[in-house]
Amino acid sequence: MTTILITTFVVYFACSITIGVWRWRNVTLGEYVAMKNRTGSVFLTCSLLGTTVGGGMFLGIAQLGYTAPISAFAIGVVYCVGGILLGLLSPYLRRLLEEHQVSTLFGLLHKILGNTDNAPNNDRARCGRTTAIPILFSLATLASFVMMLAVQYLSIATFVSFYLKVDHGFAILLSASVFAVFSILVYSATGGFRRDIATDVFQVVVISIGVAILIGGYVQGGVLTQLAGNVPVSALSVHSNDLVILIGAVFLLIPTFLVRFDLWQRMNTAKTDSVSRNSFIAAGLLSLVFFAAFAFAGLFARATGATDAIFAGLHAVERFRGTAAYGIMIVSFFAAVMSSADTFLGVSGLAASRLVPGVSFEHESADSPRTLRIVRVVTLVIGMLALGLAYFIRDIVDLFSSAFGLLSVFLPAVAYALFQRNNASRRPIGVPSILFGLAACVSALIFVPTIAFVAPFVVSALVFAIEWGIDRQRHPSIASAS
């Protein structure tokens, strides 16, 4: 088993490095960040799938399928609907990027909310306050994607712990010292969005083979019969502890697509509006198949006597031991881990770099070797930070829940900025809602992680509604113009 595991890692990294070096040649800062209007339907669909169905999701959804299967399947439906809705919105959102001549969501929010030209009556003092929203959003994106990156490193550790039969904490240290650190160094040296697109295609092809084998095993192995006979009806009901996850998944996860920097990158890189729309819709539909397969893996693990939900996904893979498909399955789901890790590392590095004074990469024409070097160094540091987080918070579901909860805090303010009809009358509201939402997120993460997905948005939305109502009363003429 150790030989298979080591061979898996060596083969994967060899392919990844080859693709990275190939795509790294003569890369500019603009290509490292965005690659505007450069990607066709097939590559974009693969990249979107690689981002959404990564290894953290395989293990996390399988774990949820073991403990709360209805919620696991609901998340699959949510990703499908979210992809379709963002696809339908993408032509409008792409036009906003074009109108403001920026290539990132960070730049768009800065132009809409932080540009004094948009302040009503040129109220510069009031408008100066709005620069807080883009800054806070960069900080939240950094924290959220560091959490998601930590999930990917936990997924690597779960592989190591399961197959080498070592303690999970030791496995994190082992994977950090060998695989994760190596991945961070490779990405920092040869990475960037240009490389992400290329490696996503390779990774999604491998993942798809693994999922096809997994589904084939369900059909041929009588798994559905085993599930019917061994999974109690009570396991398929929604318990009070699962209700928060289910409500959050259905009502909150879909809107968070709007504030995910990685999805905006892919929206912007589409060659045309129709390519963007169709790719998001196709990826949303395909992701439902992947998530359903992952959820069934968790149910299968429960039906066949697995005792640890953390290893539910890998327990399902074990049923292929002794067959030619076994090694392919391991390679497949390790590729799933790394497909998301590269993206989350890149977004974390960009979010952190944007906070460095003098660093700007918002325009496609940007080409500063100095800035590119800074971004790569910052990305290296952020990757190491995520490893430390993975060691102290070892629950994949809690990390994902907190990450999306943190992003949801910005939904009211960002949606208001993006969809208010009259640009000139936009007023800089939303800072109090964000601050209260962040406080709720931190409190939930410390005391009740299971509600970290729901509580921050509820608090943020309530405070924003109050602030919006007060603002309309104070500025009725501007409110009517919008």
pLDDT in tens, 448-464: 776 677 888 889 999 99
- Residue 227 to residue 215: CA distance in whole angstroms: 14
Least confidently predicted of 48-57, 95-104, 344-353: 48-57
In this prediction, residue 343 carries a pLDDT of: 85
**Which residues, 6+ apart, have CB-to-CB distance to 279 below 8 Å?**
41, 44, 45, 48, 87, 266, 270
Are 147 and 400 in contact, with CB atoms under 8 Å apart? yes
How much is the pLDDT for 242? 61
Q: Which two tokens stand for residue 76?
A: 């699959």
145 — pLDDT class (breaks 50, 70, 90): very high
CATH 2.30.30.30 fits 2-395, yes or no: no
The answer on pLDDT for 181 being more than 60 is yes
- Which of 30-44, 146-160, 243-257, 391-405 has the lowest average pLDDT? 243-257
Name the least confident of 162-176, 310-324, 336-350, 437-451: 162-176
Confidence of residue 386 (pLDDT cuts 50, 70, 90): confident
At 279, is the pLDDT very low, low, confident or very high (cuts 50, 70, 90)? very high
* Average pLDDT of span 306-324: 81
Tell me: pLDDT of 118 over 50: no
Pick the more confident residue, 479 or 185: 185
- 401-406 mean pLDDT: 86
Q: H-type helices in 304-368, by residue range?
A: 312-318, 325-353
The Cα–Cα gap between 81 and 75 comes to: 10
Say if residue 233's pLDDT is above 60.
no
More confident residue, 199 or 116: 199
**Contact of 318 with 300, CB cutoff 8 Å:** no
Q: Which residue has the higher pLDDT, 60 or 466?
A: 466
User: What is this structure's pTM?
Assistant: 0.85
What is the arithmetic mean of pLDDT over 310-317? 83
Task: Examine the pLDDT at 263 and tell me if it is beyond 70.
Answer: yes
Rounded CA-CA distance 283/49 in Å is 6
